[in-house]
Every structure is written in structure tokens, then in C-alpha cells.
Amino acid sequence: MNFRLTGMLALAVAILGLLIAFWDRDEDTVEERLERARRAFRFDPARVDRLIVDTGDLFIECARHGRQWHLVRPLAARADSVAIERLLGALQDLPRGDIILPPRRTADAYLPYGLDAPRARIAIVAGPVTNQIFIGRRTPLGDGVYVRQSEHTGVARVSTALLALLPASADALRDRTLLAGTPADIERLDIRSAAGYIQLARTKSGDWRIFQPVAARADSAAVGALLEALLGCRVTGFVQDGTSDLAPYGLDSQMAVTAVLNTEIGDGSQMLSFGDSLPGNPALVYARLQAENSIYAVPAGVRQALLVKPEDLRDRRLPGLLPEAIQRVRIEESERVLEFHRDDEGAWHLAAPLQAPAGSEAIQTLLRSWSEVRLTAFANAPDTNPPPAARLIRIVSRDGRTPPVELHVGPQPGDSNSVRVAIAGDSSVAMASPAQLLDAPLDPLLYRSRQILSFPIADIADIQVAGPNGSVRIARDPATGQWIPAESWAANLATVLASLRAETLLANGQTAAAAQDWAAPYATVSATLRGQSGLAVVLWIGGELSPGGPRRAALRGRDLVFALAPQTVAALLPPPPNGAE
């Protein structure tokens, strides 16, 4: 290998790369220079901290404090930062026209351009540097205007768009927003009106609650809509500045409506009051911000939105009843208890009055019916003689941070489709409809799983069947998995037995009819199991519940009595011998 040649090639590539980089950098510099040369006024809007506009009849001064602009003259007020930034950006983007150098040592050198007594002046202050722009008369053809900058003697011709940038009044640069923040920032909302006082606050979980005049859950969507209306309220007109007499505007009367917003960060507490309608214009009302002496005109719809009743903001849903969020439910009624819970895999289990697998569909159907219940009315005043609660429902969430929910449910006199519900933590009773909370049956059989047996078919060592067609025994060869004798029906029998499912559940304990059946069962199916499934399973099949219908059945050693469908019974029995019926 020629190392010298390789080194020379590498050096050449490096030099070429440096030249390309330098060329690109120089190209960018040229473009930047051309862009700056194209502009009439050279300044950086991001560095401007003061703006002055003087048109003779109008003098406006604005100052930036942080990221917010404020009017200093002719009045002290909040300025529209967006409008000022837009004005500065438009000034910066104005293209420069022809440059005219006036004769030197001439007293009236700027007279022909109207710059001896400029029609307007714009001062752009960035730290210690002040860039003053003097605006003269229009050009003879009317398509431009003459301007001069304080640091230049030359006169330039720029577009008449410059004149359109001059604000017609200080109001053009005033901030028309009244309240700062977003609905997510607000932690508390107080509303005071002739109808009363409402206090709402956000909980640690982010939900809204009413604390005055009642303690209750609030409809977060309704509160959010109210906050959107408040935060979206904008000034339509500036009525009066520097006034302390609020009476002419209805802002100190009992009919005034006041909203107080509190945030934990930034803006702190903000209070906005709404007064009377403007004379001849009922679509607008007077408004005033706390600590400001200005009166504004704003849309009347915002004031109207605040005239809500506590009932309008209450959550009509029952708490804790989102089916997928529930971990455990306990229902108590007199001496009866029904309790069920969900395991880590999502399967439901009965915990009281017995411990057994639960039917997930039955549990989900119950919970879905509860989630459809809505609160229809509220008794805001405490009931001095409330009817007793017939049922207590305690709901535990899968989220361990959410406290349990307790519902005390009782009948609603004179209305069988409604119930009375006292929600723990709420100060008043509510009416709810429909009445599933009270009507849901507590019989554990309705919620117990109908899956009677469930084990791997490979765990079956042998099966013995004694029935109307005689007795038969089949065994499974552990080496090959084949049934001996090799009966065609053996595999189906084993499959049905290993995943035996009841058609219905009849009783949790023995009944007289069942005891009579087990004394002389219609059929008995016994299976010897190996592995983790156990030692043996004995299934008793009894008499028919109706002619040709399901048969009563049970597992030896268990109290549960259930019914097996005719086709299930047929699959568990070997076919009759050839020629038999």
C-alpha cells in the first residue's frame, strides 16, 4: 500500500471540506447582509423594551416587563403583547425604497419631505440604544412615504403600509383579555350573585367538588365549560378609566355577579365582576377587574353563564361505578351480605356469603346496570326524618389511591323506579333512577360461576361410568395418550367432563329432592386424576327437572346442586349397546 498517496488524498479531502464549510458560511453571511439591506429599519424585536408612538394628537408609550407589555402613557394599563409584537415585526419587515441624500448645510433640507415637522415619530428603545423613526409626507405619486432615522441623515422612501401600522388610539394596543390561565391551571372557583354563593375546588385527583352551599361532587365537564367561558371573556369596548364610583355601572349592587379564580402558580387570585347591561345594548354588560379602575364592556353571555344553581353543577353520576375501575364490592342488607372481588388476572370471585369463583358476565352485567343510574334530584336541606337506608354498598377501586365509596340506599316513597342515595362525604341525600341499586338480587347463586370442573384432559387416568346403559371403564395410556379400549366416544366424554359447565345453579346446599336422587342416581361418572388436579372426581346425575329437560347434578363432597343440559348428560354417557334403545 502507498501510504504517502493515501495521506495526500486524506489531506485533500479535509481541505475540500473546509472550503465547502467556509463557502456555506460565507453564503449565509451574504444572504443575511442582503436581508438586512432590504429592510427599511434595522432592529431586533426581541430586544426592544420600550416603544413610543407620537402622532402629535396622540402620544403612546409602552414598556416591556418580562414577557408582558404595559401601557405607560396616556394611561397605565395592560397592553396587548401580541399586538405590539405584531407591530414591531411589521416595522422590521417593511422594505426600503430609494435613498435620497438631502443637501448638506441647508436649514430646510428636510422641508420638501415633510420631515422638518414630522407627521409622526416612532421611538424603538433597546437598552441604551434608541432608534427614532421620523415619518414625513407622502411621495408625489402617493405610493410611498418619506422617512428618516435619527442616526442617519439620508431620507428613504418606504411603503405607505407604514401609516397603517400607526395605532389610531391607545385602545388599539390595550389587552382585551381579562383573566389569565387555562382551565387546567384553576384550582378554585367562587361565584357570588343575588342567587347566593357557590364555592368549588379541585381535589387531589383533579376532580371538582362543591363546598358551598352544599358539600357534593361537581360535574367536572360543567365546571370546565364555565371556566372556558370565563377565561374566554374578552373586552368589547373600553368604557371608562380611572373611576372609583361603581354605582353607575351596577358593579356595587346586590345584582352584580362576581367570579374569583385561584391558581396555585403564577397569576394567583383573579376577581372579575359583572354589572348592568349597557344602555340600548343588552348584549353587553359592564365589567371590572379587581385592583383596576377601568370599566369594560363585555358580552352578557358570560354573566348569564355564572347565574347557575348548585344543582346545575352537580355530578349526576354515582361515584366509583366505572366497571373496569372496580376492585371489590360489598353489599349489606339486614343480615344478608354479598361480596365479590377481582383478582390480579381480572377474574371475579365471590367472598361472601361463600367463597367460590364468580361468573364474570353476571358481575359485569350487574356493574353495568349500576353505571347507568343517574341522580335526578337533590335534597339540599338535611332531612330531619329520613327513611332508613335499606342497603349499604361499599365499592373499592383498583387504584389504591382512591378512597372507597359508600352508598346508603333506601326506597323513595311513592316512586318504585327511584331510590334515595346518601353518598358518603355529601351533605345531602339525592334521588336516583332507575332503582337497580336497591333491586339487584343478593342471591350468590346468580353470580357464582357455572364452570363446575376445569382441569387438563391429560390429567385423567381413567373414567368409570355407571348409568342406564350399564357400566364401563376406560383408561388412558400415559405413554401414548390413547384410550383403552379405543372407543370412539371416549375422547368427547373426557373433553366434556374436564370442562364441565352447568346450565343453571339450583342450590348452595342439599335439598330433599337432591338427597333422594343421590340415593339412587340416574348415572355416576367417576374420574381418577393425576398431577396437580387431584385424586378423583365423582359426578352424580339425578332426575329430570322437567320431562326431557335438564337433570339435577352434583359433585360428591360439594354442596352445590346444579342442572346439566340434556346434550351434556348425553355426552357423559356411553352410547347404548348395539341393538339396544
Q: Residue 266, Cβ neighbours under 10 Å: how many?
A: 8
Pair 283, 241 in one domain? yes
- Tell me the torsion sign for CA atoms 303, 306, 312, 313: positive
Classify residue 303 by its DSSP letter. Answer: H
Whether residue 4 lies inside any domain: the answer is no
Q: What is the pLDDT of residue 36?
A: 46
Q: What is the pLDDT of residue 421?
A: 93
DSSP H helices in 256-340: 300-305, 310-313
Closest C-alpha to 238, from 171, 170, 169, 168: 171
Pair 283, 230 in one domain? yes
Whether residue 128 lies inside any domain: the answer is yes
- Tell me the torsion sign for CA atoms 323, 326, 327, 331: negative
- CB-based contacts of 363, cutoff 8 Å, min separation 6: 340, 348, 447
Pair 341, 362 in one domain? yes
Q: What is the pLDDT of residue 559?
A: 86
Number of domains in the chain: 4
Pair 419, 509 in one domain? no
Pair 246, 329 in one domain? no
C-beta of residue 405 within 8 angstroms of C-beta of residue 217: no
Whether residue 11 lies inside any domain: the answer is no
Whether residue 464 lies inside any domain: the answer is yes
Q: What is the pLDDT of residue 394?
A: 96
Q: What is the pLDDT of residue 300?
A: 95
Q: What is the pLDDT along the chain (581 residues), one digit of tens a residue?
A: 455 666 666 666 666 665 555 444 444 454 444 444 466 677 888 889 999 999 988 999 999 998 889 999 998 888 988 888 988 888 888 887 777 776 666 777 888 888 888 999 999 998 888 888 899 999 888 888 998 888 777 888 888 888 888 899 999 999 999 998 889 889 999 999 988 999 999 988 888 999 999 888 999 999 999 999 999 999 999 999 988 899 999 998 889 999 999 986 655 789 999 999 999 999 999 999 987 889 999 999 999 999 999 999 999 999 888 899 999 999 999 999 999 999 999 999 999 999 999 999 999 999 999 999 999 998 866 665 666 778 999 999 998 788 899 999 999 888 989 999 999 888 889 999 999 999 999 999 999 999 999 999 888 999 999 998 889 999 988 888 899 988 889 999 999 999 999 999 999 887 777 778 888 899 999 999 987 666 789 999 999 999 999 999 999 988 899 999 999 999 999 988 764 54
Pair 148, 192 in one domain? no
Pair 479, 513 in one domain? yes
Whether residue 28 lies inside any domain: the answer is no
Q: What is the pLDDT of residue 387?
A: 63
Pair 64, 140 in one domain? yes
Among residues 278, 313, 348, the one where a domain terminates is 313
Pair 303, 351 in one domain? no
Pair 524, 408 in one domain? no
Pair 409, 342 in one domain? yes
The domain that contains 547 carries what CATH number? 2.60.40
Domain that holds residue 167: 45-104+111-173
Q: How far is C-alpha 395 from the chain's CA centre?
A: 23
Residue 467 to residue 575: CA distance in whole angstroms: 10
Exposure b/e, 197-228, CB count within 10 A at least 16 = b: ebbbbbeeeeebbbeeebebbbbbebbeebbe
- CB-based contacts of 532, cutoff 8 Å, min separation 6: 459
Whether residue 549 lies inside any domain: the answer is yes
Among residues 446, 480, 510, the one where a domain terminates is 446
Among residues 387, 419, 446, the one where a domain terminates is 446
- CB-based contacts of 356, cutoff 8 Å, min separation 6: 349, 350, 444, 448, 449, 560
Whether residue 9 lies inside any domain: the answer is no
Whether residue 2 lies inside any domain: the answer is no
Pair 462, 539 in one domain? yes
Exposure b/e, 142-161, CB count within 10 A at least 16 = b: eebbbbbbeeeeebbbbeee
